[in-house]
């Protein structure tokens, strides 16, 4: 039984994928899956094959007949079937299970079938048989702690633009894009234009990829979570200048999630877990740059402080829905009280920007 090749391994060595009449590329990491699929189709084009992409297969019979038939007026073809569930509509490999299963028993010797599988239920008939008999590439989501793989992919993206990232720049970029490979690709293309040299540094990333404009919602949440009261109040003042009821209600919801995350980590610490273990269990997706600050905050809060913080947010939510307070004043008040409740040093509240 062929073993699925990890997408990162395949991208490092595209020639490692053996020649075959059928392939499948699947996995939850969309950027990685698309990149592996692009690499595969590019390699097939280099072999002189004409690549055709089928987005919404309505009937499998004509497609499979074409694959089985000799090409009278041209070279071999590659038919890429986009295999994706859309709402109640099942993916092609399930809707046309019998047709594909029969084709897998006796595929074309000349033409190639490729499943571009955003949806790939490995226990079902067609995916199971494909993986048993043909090469497949799996693009699994990178684990939050898999820094090495993320760095390799970021450097791969950077090399395509003629630049490289030093070690600190990789960490800064990963924090700036919250580990998203697709966002990293966009930011790296920006860095290629703005960086001062061929080697991108952390200051280059800070200059090109920092929080922009007036939307500092996530930066505010991060500052509260890590106990950075000065930054939190500065962002709150910036948001308050254009605060509206809807945006404040959304922010209150995000802050409740932050307090819940903080509570899980604090509970893990109180049970005797080490810091790294408490983070992995309570906040598995926390970004690298936030870990130390989050741990500091979690170590100084207790059940009473967490209950008080949730009480502040619930009361503010109720006020917004019933009393129609001034959104800007409420925002500054909530952030200040949260910081105080969570034991953060409280500087003087800044003036609201209009």
CATH code, domain carrying 161:
1.10.8.60
Give the domain-ending residue among 174, 190, 209. 209
Q: Please state, rounded to an integer, the average pLDDT across all residues of the chain.
A: 85
Of 32 and 205, which is predicted with more confidence? 32
Per-residue pLDDT at 139 exceeds 90: yes
Percent of the chain with pLDDT over 70: 92
The answer to whether residues 89 and 190 belong to one domain is no
pLDDT band at 354 (very low <50, low <70, confident <90, very high): very low
CB atoms within 10 A of CB 148: 10
Inter-residue contact 331 to 248 (CB < 8 Å): yes
| Residue from 100, 123, 107, 106 nearest 54 by CA | 100
pLDDT: which is higher, 169 or 213? 169
Identify the DSSP state of 266: H
**Each residue's pLDDT tens digit, 322-338:** 777 788 888 888 888 88
How far is Cα 32 from Cα 6, in angstroms, rounded to an integer? 10
Same domain, 204 and 250: no
Say how many domains are in the chain. 3
**Mean pLDDT, residues 63-72:** 84
Task: Report how far residue 167's alpha carbon sits from residue 185's, in angstroms, rounded to the nearest whole number.
Answer: 17
**In-domain check, residue 351:** no
Asked if the structure places residue 46 within a domain, the reply is: yes
Tokens matching residue 21 = 């009449």
Residues 103 and 164 in one domain: no
Segment 184-206 shows an average pLDDT of: 84
In a domain, 347, yes or no: no
Identify the pLDDT of residue 318: 84
184 with 252, same domain? Answer: no
> 247 and 332: one domain?
yes
Q: What's the rounded Cα separation, in Å, for the pair 151 and 170? A: 6
Q: Are residues 170 and 234 in the same domain?
A: no
Q: Are residues 127 and 47 in the same domain?
A: yes
pLDDT exceeds cutoff 50 at 289: yes
Q: Percentage of residues in the chain with pLDDT exceeding 90?
A: 34
Whole-number Å distance between alpha carbons of 234 and 145:
31
| Tens of pLDDT, residues 107-117 | 998 899 999 99
Pair 221, 160 in one domain = no
Confidence tier at 39 by pLDDT (50, 70, 90): very high
Are residues 177 and 251 both part of a single domain?
Answer: no
Q: What is the per-residue pLDDT across 208-259, written as a single tens digit (0 to 9) for each? A: 775 444 467 778 888 888 888 888 888 887 777 676 777 777 788 888 888 8
- Last-in-domain residue among 90, 116, 138: 138
Q: At what angle do helices 327-341 and 229-240 cross, to 10 degrees?
A: 170
Give mean pLDDT, residues 96-103: 95
324 and 308 share one domain: yes
Domain that holds residue 190: 147-209
Q: Are residues 269 and 332 in the same domain?
A: yes
Strand partners, 50: 77
- Which of 116, 138, 160 corresponds to the end of one domain? 138
Spatial distance between the Cα atoms of 10 and 133, rounded to a whole number of angstroms: 18
Is pLDDT at 270 greater than 60 in this prediction? yes
pLDDT score, position 210 = 56
- Tell me what pLDDT residue 352 has: 44
Say if residue 57 is in the same domain as residue 103. Answer: yes
């Amino acid at each position: 039984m062929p073993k699925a090749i990890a997408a990162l391994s395949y991208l490092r060595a595209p020639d490692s994928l053996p020649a075959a009449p059928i392939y499948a590329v699947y996995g939850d990491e969309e950027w990685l899956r698309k990149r592996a699929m692009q690499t595969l189709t590019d390699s097939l084009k280099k072999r002189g094959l004409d690549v055709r992409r089928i987005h919404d297969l309505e009937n499998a019979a004509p497609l499979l007949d074409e694959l089985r038939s000799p090409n009278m007026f041209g070279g071999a073809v590659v038919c890429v079937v986009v295999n994706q569930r859309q709402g109640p509509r099942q993916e092609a490999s399930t809707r046309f299970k019998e047709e594909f299963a029969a084709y897998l028993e006796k595929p074309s010797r000349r033409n190639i079938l490729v499943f571009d599988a955003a949806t790939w239920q490995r226990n079902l008939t067609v995916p199971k048989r494909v993986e048993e008999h043909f090469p497949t590439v799996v693009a699994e989501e990178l684990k939050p702690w898999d820094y090495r793989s993320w760095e390799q992919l970021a450097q791969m993206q950077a090399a395509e633009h003629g630049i490289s990232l030093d070690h600190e720049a990789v960490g800064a970029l990963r924090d700036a894009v919250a580990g998203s490979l697709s966002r990293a690709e966009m930011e790296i293309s920006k860095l290629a234009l703005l960086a001062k040299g061929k080697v991108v540094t952390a200051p280059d990333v800070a200059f090109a990829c920092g929080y922009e404009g007036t939307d500092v919602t996530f930066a505010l949440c991060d500052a509260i979570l890590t106990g950075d009261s000065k930054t939190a109040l500065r962002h709150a003042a910036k948001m308050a200048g254009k605060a509206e009821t809807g945006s404040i209600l959304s922010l209150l919801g995000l802050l409740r999630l932050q307090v819940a995350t903080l509570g899980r980590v604090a509970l893990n610490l109180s049970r005797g877990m080490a810091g790294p273990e408490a983070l992995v269990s309570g906040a598995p997706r926390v970004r690298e740059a936030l870990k130390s600050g989050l741990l500091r905050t979690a170590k100084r809060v207790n059940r009473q402080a967490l209950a008080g913080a949730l009480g502040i947010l619930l009361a503010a939510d109720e006020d917004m829905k019933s009393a129609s307070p001034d959104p800007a004043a409420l925002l500054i008040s909530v952030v200040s009280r949260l910081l105080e409740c969570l034991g953060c040093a409280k500087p003087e509240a800044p003036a609201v920007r209009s």
